[in-house]
Structure 1
Amino acid sequence: MPLCPQFCALAAPGQLAVDVLDAGSLLTAFGALGVAVVLFAETGLLVGFFLPGDSLLFTAGLLCVRDGTGVHLSLSQVLLAAVGGALAGAQAGYWIGRRGGRALLARSRSRHLHEGAERAEELLARYGHAKAIVLARFVPVVRTVLNPLAGALEVPARVFLLWQVIGGLAWTVGLVLAGYALGSSIPNVDRYLLPLVALIVLLSLLPLAREVLRSRRTRRDRGTAGGEA
């Protein structure tokens, strides 16, 4: 089975462009190959922070269930593409950081990237290298920024490689199999694809929202303590 069976049809002249923010559109157009490319960009390139990693993995898992309707993907191909894209992307981001990640972040005007960098630094300071690298995989934007930031902060290469592999496997395999398991247990689950993807996006944003609130509370407490002093 080819990695992107729908690509030729959708790439023909006159067809609508693929929506890179829509997991279903990406998977319909590019199949498992799209999973690898998107995860590489989201985890390895700072410009990919807006890409839908969580919803893409979950949706890809759903589409691996053969129900005779719509798009069908190969589970083995999706898993290989997801793991390969996520691990290669993280390593690319790390080496980009070693060669000037701080400068790249400083030149960026994206508020989301700068906020993600703050969260990434807080994770590294709060949990240490190993736990922060694993946890960052599950937080949008932070998983984009932490890899080059780890390189810029000169986290040991062997330490980064070990824990980014562990985190990458947990994130990619976990979400793909979660989607596959749900699709296998609910008949015609594609009918509920949009609300399910919306739920996954919402859940993926909860860790980031919690970290933002915790950071604001900490700064407010420090300001109060400084005022009292």
Structure 2
Amino acid sequence: MDTFLLDSGGFIQRFIEWIINYGGLYILLLIVFAETGLFVGFFFPGDSLLFAAGIYMDDLTRELFNLDSNAPVHSYQWIVIMIMVMIASILGNIAGYWFGRKAGPLLYERKETWLFKRKHLIRAKEFYDRYGKGTIFLAKFLPIIRTFAPIVGGMVKMPRPIFTFYNIIGSICWVAIMMLGGHFLESWAQRKFDFSLKDHIEAITIGIILVTTLPVLYKLFFNRNKRDTTVPPANNKINP
């Protein structure tokens, strides 16, 4: 989850710059795929990393297209980057959906570890019960739920065309909002105030973490039902 980025002392800026310099776009694609498709990826910093990638969009574009550091960047070039990230998100959800269909119910019997907590799966199932098929779209904007929603979709045998529709629309909206938000806010700040958001990436990232994570953490830890979530009750079991 995003909380591993909360250390002070410029760690976040160094982390982002490390990603740009050592793999850049490809590390971003891997993280997006893992967070949306692998149950062990729930702790990855999806929202904040996508927003930061938007701030560093020009750097990522120059890296991908092998441009000089001062070369101009065209809109079609960073659109290519966003499409690649969207595809990674779509494929990640497909992987989670496939895993849910094949082995998802067995997760209720799986031994808990620091990477896997059954309560996250149960909360995702409760979210699905409340919002139905739209969960696949809405979950894109909710840490933790984002990772487990496609697995639950596979468990309940959501029809593939419906899952694919919400998967594609959700991935497009999530990536576009986060990356374009970072990109255009960076451009606006440079034009209006003559400073770069890269110099304030820690505060921006922590703000995104608080906005996106606190509501989920509240739901998970402070607004629990009285029932024990260590063993799923009958109404939480998967019924295809």
With the shorter chain as reference, the TM-score category is 0.7 to 0.9
- The answer to whether 1:46 aligns with 2:39 is yes
Distance change (3 Å), C-alpha of 1:173 and 1:107:
same
- Measured in 1, the distance between the counterparts of 2:36 and 2:16 equals 16
Aligned to 2:187: 184
- The answer to whether 1:122 aligns with 2:126 is yes
Distance change (3 Å), C-alpha of 1:124 and 1:23:
farther
Distance change (3 Å), C-alpha of 1:118 and 1:24:
farther
User: What's the CA shift for 1:150?
Assistant: 1.1
Which shows bigger deviation, 108-117 or 138-147?
Answer: 108-117
Determine if contact 1:42/1:53 at 8 Å carries over to the other structure.
yes
Distance change (3 Å), C-alpha of 1:110 and 1:81:
farther
- The unaligned stretches of length 5 or more in structure 2 are 1-11, 60-68, 191-195, 228-240
> Which whole-Å deviations, capped at 9, do the CAs of 1:129-180 have from their partners, x for residues lacking one?
12x1111111111111111121011111111111111111111111000100
- Measured in 1, the distance between the counterparts of 2:216 and 2:202 equals 22
Aligned to 2:234: none
Higher relative contact order (CA 8 A, sep 6+): 2
- The unaligned stretches of length 5 or more in structure 1 are 1-18, 221-229
What secondary structure sits across from 1:177 in the alignment?
helix
The one-letter code of the counterpart of 1:119 is R
- Measured in 2, the distance between the counterparts of 1:57 and 1:136 equals 16
User: What's the CA shift for 1:215?
Assistant: 4.3
Matches within 5 A, 1:1-229: 22-65=15-58, 75-104=78-107, 106-110=109-113, 113-130=117-134, 132-187=135-190, 188-212=196-220, 215-216=223-224, 218-219=225-226
> Which whole-Å deviations, capped at 9, do the CAs of 1:89-143 have from their partners, x for residues lacking one?
001110111111121453252466423212211111111112x111111111111
Determine if contact 2:107/2:118 at 8 Å carries over to the other structure.
no
Which shows bigger deviation, 98-107 or 115-124?
Answer: 98-107
Distance change (3 Å), C-alpha of 1:93 and 1:174:
same
